[in-house]
Protein backbone atom coordinates (compact mmCIF):
# COMPACT_ATOMS: atom_id res chain seq x y z
CA UNK A 1 0.00 0.00 0.00
CA UNK A 2 1.40 3.43 -0.84
CA UNK A 3 2.10 5.89 1.82
CA UNK A 4 -0.90 8.00 1.01
CA UNK A 5 -1.68 8.52 4.63
CA UNK A 6 0.17 11.10 6.58
CA UNK A 7 2.79 9.68 8.80
CA UNK A 8 1.76 9.52 12.45
CA UNK A 9 4.24 12.18 13.37
CA UNK A 10 3.50 14.57 10.58
CA UNK A 11 1.40 16.81 12.79
CA UNK A 12 -1.97 18.02 11.71
CA UNK A 13 -2.42 21.17 13.66
CA UNK A 14 -3.70 22.94 10.61
CA UNK A 15 -6.37 20.29 10.09
CA UNK A 16 -8.77 20.44 12.97
CA UNK A 17 -11.56 18.36 11.48
CA UNK A 18 -10.06 14.94 11.11
CA UNK A 19 -6.79 13.42 11.94
CA UNK A 20 -5.25 10.05 11.53
CA UNK A 21 -3.35 9.59 14.68
CA UNK A 22 -1.64 6.51 15.96
CA UNK A 23 0.68 8.41 18.25
CA UNK A 24 -1.96 9.19 20.78
CA UNK A 25 -1.14 7.78 24.17
CA UNK A 26 -3.43 5.05 25.31
CA UNK A 27 -5.89 6.53 27.65
CA UNK A 28 -6.15 5.75 31.27
CA UNK A 29 -9.45 4.72 32.70
CA UNK A 30 -12.62 5.65 30.86
CA UNK A 31 -14.50 8.66 32.15
CA UNK A 32 -17.39 7.95 34.45
CA UNK A 33 -20.47 6.82 32.53
CA UNK A 34 -23.02 9.54 32.15
CA UNK A 35 -26.34 9.04 33.78
CA UNK A 36 -29.21 8.84 31.31
CA UNK A 37 -29.59 12.23 29.71
CA UNK A 38 -26.96 14.15 31.60
CA UNK A 39 -24.67 16.68 29.92
CA UNK A 40 -21.00 16.29 29.20
CA UNK A 41 -18.51 16.99 31.90
CA UNK A 42 -15.50 19.13 31.04
CA UNK A 43 -13.27 16.11 31.39
CA UNK A 44 -15.33 14.14 28.89
CA UNK A 45 -15.55 17.09 26.50
CA UNK A 46 -11.77 17.20 26.29
CA UNK A 47 -11.63 13.67 24.92
CA UNK A 48 -11.79 13.07 21.17
CA UNK A 49 -15.33 12.59 19.99
CA UNK A 50 -14.44 9.50 18.01
CA UNK A 51 -11.28 7.52 18.33
CA UNK A 52 -10.77 4.32 16.35
CA UNK A 53 -7.49 2.59 17.03
CA UNK A 54 -6.26 -0.16 14.72
CA UNK A 55 -9.76 -1.48 14.23
CA UNK A 56 -10.25 -4.69 12.28
CA UNK A 57 -13.42 -6.64 11.64
CA UNK A 58 -13.82 -9.98 9.89
CA UNK A 59 -16.93 -11.56 8.42
CA UNK A 60 -15.79 -15.15 8.59
CA UNK A 61 -12.80 -15.33 6.26
CA UNK A 62 -13.53 -11.95 4.67
CA UNK A 63 -12.05 -8.85 6.22
CA UNK A 64 -14.51 -5.98 6.38
CA UNK A 65 -12.37 -3.35 8.07
CA UNK A 66 -8.61 -3.63 8.24
CA UNK A 67 -6.45 -1.77 10.76
CA UNK A 68 -8.35 1.50 10.66
CA UNK A 69 -7.17 4.30 12.89
CA UNK A 70 -9.23 7.45 12.92
CA UNK A 71 -9.84 10.40 15.21
CA UNK A 72 -12.63 12.92 14.79
CA UNK A 73 -13.34 16.03 16.81
CA UNK A 74 -15.69 18.19 14.79
CA UNK A 75 -16.72 19.23 11.29
CA UNK A 76 -17.73 17.12 8.34
CA UNK A 77 -15.67 14.16 7.24
CA UNK A 78 -16.51 12.34 4.05
CA UNK A 79 -15.93 8.62 3.88
CA UNK A 80 -15.78 7.53 0.30
CA UNK A 81 -15.24 4.15 -1.24
CA UNK A 82 -16.77 1.67 -3.62
CA UNK A 83 -19.41 -0.83 -2.60
CA UNK A 84 -17.83 -3.37 -0.30
CA UNK A 85 -14.92 -1.11 0.59
CA UNK A 86 -15.84 -1.26 4.28
CA UNK A 87 -17.55 2.10 4.81
CA UNK A 88 -20.76 0.71 6.23
CA UNK A 89 -18.94 -1.81 8.39
CA UNK A 90 -16.82 0.98 9.85
CA UNK A 91 -19.94 3.00 10.56
CA UNK A 92 -21.63 0.04 12.21
CA UNK A 93 -18.59 -0.42 14.35
CA UNK A 94 -18.62 3.25 15.33
CA UNK A 95 -22.32 3.14 16.21
CA UNK A 96 -21.95 0.00 18.30
CA UNK A 97 -23.88 -2.33 16.02
CA UNK A 98 -20.79 -4.46 15.59
CA UNK A 99 -17.80 -5.12 17.79
CA UNK A 100 -14.30 -4.91 16.41
CA UNK A 101 -12.34 -8.14 16.39
CA UNK A 102 -9.14 -6.18 16.93
CA UNK A 103 -8.55 -2.65 18.14
CA UNK A 104 -10.87 -0.30 19.95
CA UNK A 105 -13.42 2.37 19.20
CA UNK A 106 -14.28 5.06 21.70
CA UNK A 107 -16.86 7.80 21.65
CA UNK A 108 -15.93 10.50 24.13
CA UNK A 109 -13.91 7.91 25.98
CA UNK A 110 -16.67 5.28 26.10
CA UNK A 111 -16.48 1.98 24.29
CA UNK A 112 -18.62 2.34 21.17
CA UNK A 113 -20.48 -0.86 22.09
CA UNK A 114 -21.67 0.65 25.38
CA UNK A 115 -24.96 2.37 26.01
CA UNK A 116 -23.18 5.54 27.17
CA UNK A 117 -21.50 5.90 23.79
CA UNK A 118 -24.78 5.69 21.90
CA UNK A 119 -26.04 8.78 23.69
CA UNK A 120 -23.49 10.84 21.80
CA UNK A 121 -24.23 9.37 18.40
CA UNK A 122 -27.00 9.90 15.88
CA UNK A 123 -27.01 7.14 13.33
CA UNK A 124 -28.65 7.19 9.94
CA UNK A 125 -28.24 3.63 8.67
CA UNK A 126 -28.08 2.59 5.07
CA UNK A 127 -30.86 0.04 5.62
CA UNK A 128 -34.20 0.98 4.21
CA UNK A 129 -36.46 -0.68 6.77
CA UNK A 130 -38.83 1.09 9.12
CA UNK A 131 -41.88 0.39 11.18
CA UNK A 132 -43.80 0.49 7.95
CA UNK A 133 -47.22 0.54 9.55
CA UNK A 134 -46.51 3.89 11.22
CA UNK A 135 -46.68 7.35 9.77
CA UNK A 136 -43.44 9.28 9.44
CA UNK A 137 -44.32 11.40 12.45
CA UNK A 138 -45.27 8.40 14.57
CA UNK A 139 -42.02 6.72 13.69
CA UNK A 140 -39.84 9.69 14.57
CA UNK A 141 -41.84 10.29 17.73
CA UNK A 142 -41.43 6.63 18.71
CA UNK A 143 -37.70 6.96 18.21
CA UNK A 144 -37.68 10.07 20.41
CA UNK A 145 -39.58 8.28 23.13
CA UNK A 146 -37.07 5.45 23.01
CA UNK A 147 -34.51 8.02 24.08
CA UNK A 148 -36.61 8.45 27.20
CA UNK A 149 -38.14 11.85 26.50
CA UNK A 150 -41.52 12.60 27.99
CA UNK A 151 -44.36 12.48 25.50
CA UNK A 152 -44.70 16.25 25.11
CA UNK A 153 -41.03 16.76 24.51
CA UNK A 154 -40.82 13.77 22.19
CA UNK A 155 -43.59 15.32 20.10
CA UNK A 156 -41.78 18.65 19.99
CA UNK A 157 -38.48 17.09 19.07
CA UNK A 158 -40.08 14.92 16.41
CA UNK A 159 -41.88 17.95 14.97
CA UNK A 160 -38.69 19.94 14.92
CA UNK A 161 -36.59 17.20 13.41
CA UNK A 162 -39.18 16.63 10.70
CA UNK A 163 -39.22 20.34 10.00
CA UNK A 164 -35.45 20.34 9.70
CA UNK A 165 -35.45 17.61 7.08
CA UNK A 166 -38.33 19.12 5.16
CA UNK A 167 -40.87 16.47 6.03
CA UNK A 168 -43.21 18.43 8.28
CA UNK A 169 -45.95 18.61 5.69
CA UNK A 170 -45.70 14.99 4.63
CA UNK A 171 -45.18 13.25 7.92
CA UNK A 172 -48.75 12.06 8.42
CA UNK A 173 -48.59 9.51 5.61
CA UNK A 174 -47.55 5.96 6.29
CA UNK A 175 -43.88 5.20 5.84
CA UNK A 176 -44.91 2.27 3.65
CA UNK A 177 -45.95 4.71 0.91
CA UNK A 178 -42.88 6.96 1.05
CA UNK A 179 -40.46 7.42 -1.80
CA UNK A 180 -36.78 6.64 -1.31
CA UNK A 181 -35.98 10.28 -0.75
CA UNK A 182 -38.67 10.70 1.87
CA UNK A 183 -37.45 7.64 3.68
CA UNK A 184 -33.94 9.09 3.73
CA UNK A 185 -35.31 12.26 5.28
CA UNK A 186 -37.11 10.30 7.97
CA UNK A 187 -33.92 8.40 8.74
CA UNK A 188 -32.08 11.67 9.07
CA UNK A 189 -34.81 13.15 11.26
CA UNK A 190 -34.56 10.32 13.78
CA UNK A 191 -30.80 10.79 13.94
CA UNK A 192 -31.22 14.46 14.86
CA UNK A 193 -33.67 13.89 17.70
CA UNK A 194 -31.40 13.80 20.71
CA UNK A 195 -29.05 16.49 19.51
CA UNK A 196 -26.06 14.18 19.16
CA UNK A 197 -22.49 15.41 19.06
CA UNK A 198 -21.52 12.87 16.44
CA UNK A 199 -23.72 12.06 13.48
CA UNK A 200 -22.87 8.96 11.52
CA UNK A 201 -24.71 9.12 8.22
CA UNK A 202 -24.45 6.13 5.92
CA UNK A 203 -25.19 7.13 2.34
CA UNK A 204 -27.65 9.86 3.42
CA UNK A 205 -27.85 11.38 -0.06
CA UNK A 206 -28.63 8.15 -1.84
CA UNK A 207 -32.02 8.31 -3.53
CA UNK A 208 -32.49 12.02 -2.91
CA UNK A 209 -33.35 14.25 -5.86
CA UNK A 210 -31.01 17.15 -6.77
CA UNK A 211 -33.12 19.77 -4.99
CA UNK A 212 -33.23 17.61 -1.90
CA UNK A 213 -29.49 17.08 -2.08
CA UNK A 214 -28.89 20.81 -2.01
CA UNK A 215 -31.15 21.10 1.02
CA UNK A 216 -29.31 18.31 2.77
CA UNK A 217 -25.91 19.79 1.91
CA UNK A 218 -27.00 23.07 3.47
CA UNK A 219 -28.38 21.28 6.49
CA UNK A 220 -25.16 19.34 7.01
CA UNK A 221 -23.17 22.54 6.70
CA UNK A 222 -25.43 24.16 9.22
CA UNK A 223 -25.04 21.32 11.67
CA UNK A 224 -21.28 21.41 11.30
CA UNK A 225 -21.23 25.13 11.94
CA UNK A 226 -23.08 24.46 15.18
CA UNK A 227 -20.20 22.32 16.36
CA UNK A 228 -21.53 18.94 15.37
CA UNK A 229 -19.22 16.31 14.01
CA UNK A 230 -20.55 14.52 10.94
CA UNK A 231 -19.16 11.41 9.36
CA UNK A 232 -20.86 10.95 6.02
CA UNK A 233 -20.31 8.06 3.67
CA UNK A 234 -20.88 7.94 -0.03
CA UNK A 235 -19.57 6.13 -3.03
CA UNK A 236 -19.68 9.34 -5.06
CA UNK A 237 -16.69 11.54 -4.54
CA UNK A 238 -18.24 14.49 -6.31
CA UNK A 239 -21.16 14.45 -3.93
CA UNK A 240 -18.93 14.62 -0.88
CA UNK A 241 -16.69 17.25 -2.36
CA UNK A 242 -19.62 19.67 -2.16
CA UNK A 243 -19.92 19.03 1.54
CA UNK A 244 -16.39 18.96 2.74
CA UNK A 245 -12.86 19.09 1.54
CA UNK A 246 -11.84 16.58 4.09
CA UNK A 247 -12.12 13.04 2.91
CA UNK A 248 -11.10 9.55 3.86
CA UNK A 249 -11.00 7.12 0.98
CA UNK A 250 -11.61 3.49 1.86
CA UNK A 251 -10.56 0.54 -0.20
CA UNK A 252 -10.52 -3.13 0.74
CA UNK A 253 -11.31 -2.33 4.35
CA UNK A 254 -8.48 0.13 4.77
CA UNK A 255 -8.39 3.87 4.81
CA UNK A 256 -6.33 4.34 1.70
CA UNK A 257 -6.00 8.10 1.76
CA UNK A 258 -6.95 11.05 3.92
CA UNK A 259 -6.96 14.72 3.09
CA UNK A 260 -8.47 17.13 0.64
CA UNK A 261 -9.04 15.95 -2.88
CA UNK A 262 -6.23 18.20 -4.07
CA UNK A 263 -3.85 16.82 -1.47
CA UNK A 264 -4.67 13.26 -2.37
CA UNK A 265 -4.19 13.98 -6.04
CA UNK A 266 -0.84 15.58 -5.34
CA UNK A 267 0.32 12.60 -3.38
CA UNK A 268 -0.88 10.22 -6.05
CA UNK A 269 0.96 12.18 -8.68
CA UNK A 270 4.17 11.87 -6.75
CA UNK A 271 3.68 8.28 -5.81
CA UNK A 272 4.95 5.86 -8.48
CA UNK A 273 2.19 3.56 -9.53
CA UNK A 274 2.97 -0.05 -10.38
CA UNK A 275 1.16 -1.29 -13.47
CA UNK A 276 1.32 -4.65 -15.17
CA UNK A 277 0.64 -4.76 -18.88
CA UNK A 278 0.25 -8.11 -20.64
CA UNK A 279 1.04 -7.84 -24.35
CA UNK A 280 -0.17 -10.51 -26.75
CA UNK A 281 2.84 -12.61 -27.73
CA UNK A 282 4.14 -12.40 -31.27
CA UNK A 283 3.78 -15.45 -33.46
CA UNK A 284 6.82 -17.84 -33.34
CA UNK A 285 8.19 -16.75 -36.67
CA UNK A 286 8.27 -13.15 -35.59
CA UNK A 287 9.93 -13.83 -32.28
CA UNK A 288 13.10 -11.85 -32.74
CA UNK A 289 14.15 -8.76 -30.93
CA UNK A 290 12.93 -6.40 -33.64
CA UNK A 291 9.49 -7.83 -33.91
CA UNK A 292 8.96 -8.60 -30.26
CA UNK A 293 5.82 -6.64 -29.31
CA UNK A 294 6.85 -6.49 -25.72
CA UNK A 295 10.17 -4.89 -26.39
CA UNK A 296 8.61 -2.39 -28.76
CA UNK A 297 6.07 -1.48 -26.07
CA UNK A 298 8.78 -1.16 -23.42
CA UNK A 299 10.74 1.15 -25.65
CA UNK A 300 7.65 3.23 -26.31
CA UNK A 301 6.82 3.41 -22.63
CA UNK A 302 10.28 4.60 -21.70
CA UNK A 303 9.83 7.57 -23.97
CA UNK A 304 6.86 8.74 -21.91
CA UNK A 305 7.65 11.51 -19.44
CA UNK A 306 5.96 9.97 -16.41
CA UNK A 307 7.45 6.48 -16.68
CA UNK A 308 10.07 5.88 -14.02
CA UNK A 309 11.03 2.39 -15.04
CA UNK A 310 10.01 -0.62 -17.12
CA UNK A 311 10.73 -4.23 -16.35
CA UNK A 312 10.18 -7.24 -18.58
CA UNK A 313 8.82 -10.09 -16.52
CA UNK A 314 9.39 -13.75 -17.29
CA UNK A 315 6.48 -15.14 -19.21
CA UNK A 316 5.19 -18.66 -18.82
CA UNK A 317 5.50 -20.62 -22.07
CA UNK A 318 1.90 -21.83 -21.81
CA UNK A 319 0.58 -18.26 -21.69
CA UNK A 320 0.01 -16.41 -24.90
CA UNK A 321 1.06 -13.09 -23.36
CA UNK A 322 4.25 -11.37 -22.23
CA UNK A 323 4.02 -9.26 -19.10
CA UNK A 324 5.61 -5.84 -18.67
CA UNK A 325 5.88 -4.05 -15.35
CA UNK A 326 5.78 -0.27 -15.45
CA UNK A 327 6.43 2.29 -12.73
CA UNK A 328 4.86 5.62 -13.49
CA UNK A 329 4.18 8.92 -11.75
CA UNK A 330 1.21 11.15 -12.37
CA UNK A 331 -1.16 8.31 -13.15
CA UNK A 332 -3.78 10.41 -14.87
CA UNK A 333 -1.37 11.73 -17.47
CA UNK A 334 0.34 8.38 -17.78
CA UNK A 335 -2.89 6.56 -18.61
CA UNK A 336 -3.82 9.17 -21.20
CA UNK A 337 -0.44 8.77 -22.88
CA UNK A 338 -0.55 5.01 -22.66
CA UNK A 339 -3.92 4.98 -24.40
CA UNK A 340 -2.55 7.17 -27.16
CA UNK A 341 0.54 4.97 -27.53
CA UNK A 342 -1.48 1.77 -27.76
CA UNK A 343 -3.86 3.15 -30.36
CA UNK A 344 -1.09 4.64 -32.45
CA UNK A 345 1.08 1.55 -32.44
CA UNK A 346 -1.72 -1.04 -32.29
CA UNK A 347 -0.36 -3.04 -29.42
CA UNK A 348 -2.55 -5.97 -28.51
CA UNK A 349 -2.99 -5.56 -24.80
CA UNK A 350 -4.51 -8.60 -23.15
CA UNK A 351 -4.57 -7.22 -19.63
CA UNK A 352 -3.91 -3.97 -17.82
CA UNK A 353 -3.74 -4.13 -14.07
CA UNK A 354 -2.77 -1.71 -11.35
CA UNK A 355 -0.94 -3.84 -8.86
CA UNK A 356 -1.57 -1.70 -5.81
CA UNK A 357 -5.28 -2.13 -5.08
CA UNK A 358 -5.56 0.75 -2.68
CA UNK A 359 -3.89 3.19 -4.99
CA UNK A 360 -6.00 1.91 -7.79
CA UNK A 361 -9.15 2.50 -5.79
CA UNK A 362 -8.13 6.01 -4.83
CA UNK A 363 -7.17 6.71 -8.36
CA UNK A 364 -10.46 5.33 -9.59
CA UNK A 365 -12.34 7.77 -7.41
CA UNK A 366 -10.27 10.71 -8.36
CA UNK A 367 -10.53 9.93 -12.04
CA UNK A 368 -14.27 9.43 -11.86
CA UNK A 369 -14.62 12.62 -9.85
CA UNK A 370 -12.70 14.62 -12.39
CA UNK A 371 -14.35 13.17 -15.40
CA UNK A 372 -17.84 13.62 -14.02
Partner 1 sequence: MVPDYNENEGERETVSLKTANRSLAVVSPLLPDSTSGLRAWFYLVWLSWRRQARSQQMVWIAVGLLLFSVSLVAIFTARGAWSMRYWRWPYRQGPTYMQWADEVQMLASLPDASAEGQGVQAALAASVRGIILYSGFPIFSHWIVFLLFLSFLVPLFNLSFATEALGGERESNSLIWLLSRPLPRPAIYLAKFAALLPWTIGLTLGGFVLLCLVGGQSGLLALRLYWPSVLAATLAFSSLFYFMGATFRRPAVAAIVYAFFLEVIFGNMPGYLKRISIGFYARCMMFDAAGDFGVQPERPEIFLPVDGATALAVLLGLTVLLLGIGTVAFSRAQYHEVV
Partner 2 sequence: MGESLNRAATPELLHYRPWRGEFRTPAASIWPIARVALTSIFQKWMFWIIYILGLLIFLLFFFGQYLLSWAETQAGETDVQLGGWGRMNPRHLIALFRGFLKLDGSAESYRSFFAYQGYIVMIVLALAGSILIGNDLRFGSLPYYLSKPLSRWHYLLGKGLAVAVFINLMTTLPAIVLFAQWGVLESWEYLFERFDLLLGILGYGLVLTVTLTVLLLATATWLRRTVPLIMMWTTLFFFCRLLSAAMVDGLRFSPRWRLIDLWNSTSLIGAACLGLDLETIRPGNQPPWYEAALVLGGVSLLCLTYLIRRIRGVEIVR
Q: How far is the CB of 348 from partner 2 (least distance, A)?
A: 5
Q: Is residue 341 a contact point for partner 2 (CB under 8 A)?
A: no
List the x/- string, 262-281, binding to partner 2 by CB under 8 A.
Answer: ------------------x-
Q: Is residue 267 a contact point for partner 1 (CB under 8 A)?
A: no
Q: Is residue 62 a contact point for partner 2 (CB under 8 A)?
A: no
Binding partner 1 (rule: CB under 8 A), the pick from 23, 36, 179, 316 is 36
The item of partner 1, partner 2, none sharing an interface with residue 309, based on CB under 5 to 8 Å by kind, is none
CB proximity list for 187: less than 8 A, separation 6 or greater? 124, 125, 204
Q: How far is the CB of 75 from partner 1 (least distance, A)?
A: 15
| C-alpha torsion 106→110→114→119, nearest 10 | -100
The item of partner 2, partner 1, none sharing an interface with residue 349, based on CB under 5 to 8 Å by kind, is partner 2
Expressed in angstroms, the distance from the first to the final Cα of the chain is: 26
Piece of the chain touching partner 1 by CB under 8 A; list 20-28, 137-145, 256-264, 353-361: 137-145
DSSP E strands, the chain: 18-19, 50-59, 62-72, 75-81, 102-107, 110-111, 121-124, 198-201, 229-234, 247-251, 254-259, 273-280, 307-312, 321-328, 349-354
Separation of alpha carbons 305 and 204, rounded Å: 42
CB proximity list for 253: less than 8 A, separation 6 or greater? 56, 57, 63, 64, 65, 66, 68, 85, 86, 89
Give the nearer residue to partner 1 in terms of CB position, either 10 or 225. Answer: 225
Piece of the chain touching partner 1 by CB under 8 A; list 2-10, 122-130, 345-353, 361-369: 122-130
Q: Is residue 59 a contact point for partner 1 (CB under 8 A)?
A: yes
Q: Is residue 266 a contact point for partner 1 (CB under 8 A)?
A: no
Strands 247-251 and 75-81: parallel
Classified as helix, coil or strand, 55 is: strand
Separation of alpha carbons 347 and 23, rounded Å: 49
Q: Is residue 348 a contact point for partner 2 (CB under 8 A)?
A: yes
Binding partner 1 (rule: CB under 8 A), the pick from 215, 236, 241, 292 is 215
Q: Is residue 127 a contact point for partner 2 (CB under 8 A)?
A: no
**HEC string for 183-196:** HHHHHHHHHHCCCC
Binding partner 2 (rule: CB under 8 A), the pick from 159, 350, 352, 367 is 350
Separation of alpha carbons 178 and 186, rounded Å: 10
Contact at 8 Å (CB) between 190 and 139?
A: yes
Separation of alpha carbons 360 and 346, rounded Å: 25
The item of partner 2, partner 1, none sharing an interface with residue 165, based on CB under 5 to 8 Å by kind, is partner 1
Q: How far is the CB of 129 from partner 1 (least distance, A)?
A: 4
Give the nearer residue to partner 1 in terms of CB position, either 96 or 109. Answer: 96
Which residues are at the interface with partner 1 (CB under 8 A)? Answer: 36-39, 59, 88-89, 92, 95-99, 115-116, 118-119, 121, 123, 125, 127, 129-133, 142-143, 145-150, 153, 156-157, 159-161, 163-166, 168-169, 190, 192-195, 215, 218-219, 222-223, 225-226, 228
Amino acid sequence: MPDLLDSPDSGRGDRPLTAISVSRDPKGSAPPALPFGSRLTEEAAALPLLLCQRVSKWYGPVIGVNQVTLELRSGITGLVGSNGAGKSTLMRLITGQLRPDLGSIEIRGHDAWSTSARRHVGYCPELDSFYEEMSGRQFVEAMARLYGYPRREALDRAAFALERVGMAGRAERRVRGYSKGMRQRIKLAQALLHDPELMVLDEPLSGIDPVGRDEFVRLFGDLASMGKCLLISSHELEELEKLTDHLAIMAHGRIAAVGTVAQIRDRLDNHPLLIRIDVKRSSPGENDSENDERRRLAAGLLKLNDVVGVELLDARPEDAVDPVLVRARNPQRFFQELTRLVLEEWYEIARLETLDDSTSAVLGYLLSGRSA
